[in-house]
Structure 1
Amino acid sequence: MTSRLFDLSSTWHLPAPPEEVWTIIADIDMSWPQWWPHCSFAAPLTRTKAKSSSQEDILKATTAYLNFKASLGYTLTISIHPTEVVAPREIDFDAGGHLQGIGRVTLIPEKEGEATRMDIEWRVRPTQHWMNFLTPIAAPAFTAAHALMMRQGEKGLIEALAKQTPTSAK
């Protein structure tokens, strides 16, 4: 059975400049579980030798293994490995585990640089037999669960920005 390709996109509107958003989302220690509800580490980060000590090269040498607990009760374990990093604008990555494919996060300044639109794109295929079996009838539910999880991430990131950045207090 060939698994279905899911093209999933989300747009987050964040009350901080791209540089401040970048500081949190492109953290070399992958702090996402600290601010994203229902996200946790599935395993320790793995890191190969980076080409340099730059944040970009360290990110490209890092793979994070994350669990995302969906509102429908299942948990997806996904590896995220940055393949291209352009600070503070874009991260392209490979995804593996229960969803295999690629993704991209793009930061776009809004409100004269005082806010950020974050576009998130996924092109992934489920690898679990049960998901592939149910996809013909459950694809809308899987897509809705993804949208809810992304909204929770957006809210968590807004809260993290409010705690961390002086600009968001304006």
Structure 2
Amino acid sequence: MRLNTYQFRDSWFIAAPAPSVFDAVTDLARYPQWWPDVRSVRRIDDETAELICRATLPYDLVLQMRRAEQDAPAGRLRVHLTGDLEGSLAALVHRHPAGTRLDITQRVVAMKPLLRRLPVARPLFRANHALMMRRGQTGLRRFLGPPVAAR
């Protein structure tokens, strides 16, 4: 694997119904309301949005996300990424008795010059990503409200 290639896998448990989780993760315009690391979202067209993200390290990532698949009944979402990261992001929403599990897989190549020039900082970049994802999970939990009662 090249030093500027990354693969991330995250699983989030959200104590909310699967349709609510799916709706929240497909509504990019509302990301800044619940995900503090997503600083802004600008709609480009019906299938594409531009996001500006900044986690803990002092640099922004500018990403264009273009919808490739959005299948609510199957709980599948996939987008193509271009900009500072190029590749794909796929999400699968699984129903769970106490809520929902959201599995997220990202396969990207870093295009931002800073990320390409500092391969020795790769562990820092990975840690930065992990912190961003943790804040996203926490924010989505708060956004979707109190836990679902166990059945």
Give the equivalent residue in structure 2 for 1:39: 38
Larger Rg: 1
What is the total number of aligned residue pairs between the two structures? 147
Retained in 2: the 8 A contact 1:3–1:127? Answer: no
In 2, the alpha carbon distance for the partners of 1:91 and 1:63 equals 14
SS in structure 2 opposite 1:30? helix
User: What are the equivalent positions in structure 2 for 1:63-142 lying under 5 Å apart?
Assistant: 63-88=48-73, 89-111=75-97, 114-135=98-119, 137-142=120-125
Retained in 2: the 8 A contact 1:46–1:63? Answer: yes
SS in structure 2 opposite 1:103? strand
- CA deviations on 1:108-134 (whole Å, 9 max, x unpaired) are 1112xx411101111001112221110
In 2, the alpha carbon distance for the partners of 1:169 and 1:7 equals 32
Retained in 2: the 8 A contact 1:4–1:132? Answer: yes
Query: Does 1:30 find its partner at 2:13?
Result: no
- CA deviations on 1:34-84 (whole Å, 9 max, x unpaired) are 110121225x2022xxxxxxxxxxxxx321111111201111111111101
Q: CA RMSD in A?
A: 1.7
Give the equivalent residue in structure 1 for 2:12: 12
Query: Does 1:144 find its partner at 2:142?
Result: no
In 1, the alpha carbon distance for the partners of 2:145 and 2:8 equals 27
Retained in 2: the 8 A contact 1:3–1:126? Answer: no
SS in structure 1 opposite 2:123? helix
Give the equivalent residue in structure 2 for 1:55: none
In 1, the alpha carbon distance for the partners of 2:148 and 2:7 equals 35
Give the equivalent residue in structure 2 for 1:51: none
Retained in 2: the 8 A contact 1:14–1:158? Answer: yes
In 2, the alpha carbon distance for the partners of 1:26 and 1:45 equals 13
5+ residue gaps, structure 1, are: 48-60
Code of the aligned partner of 1:92 = R
Of 143-152 and 71-80, the range deviating more from structure 2 = 71-80
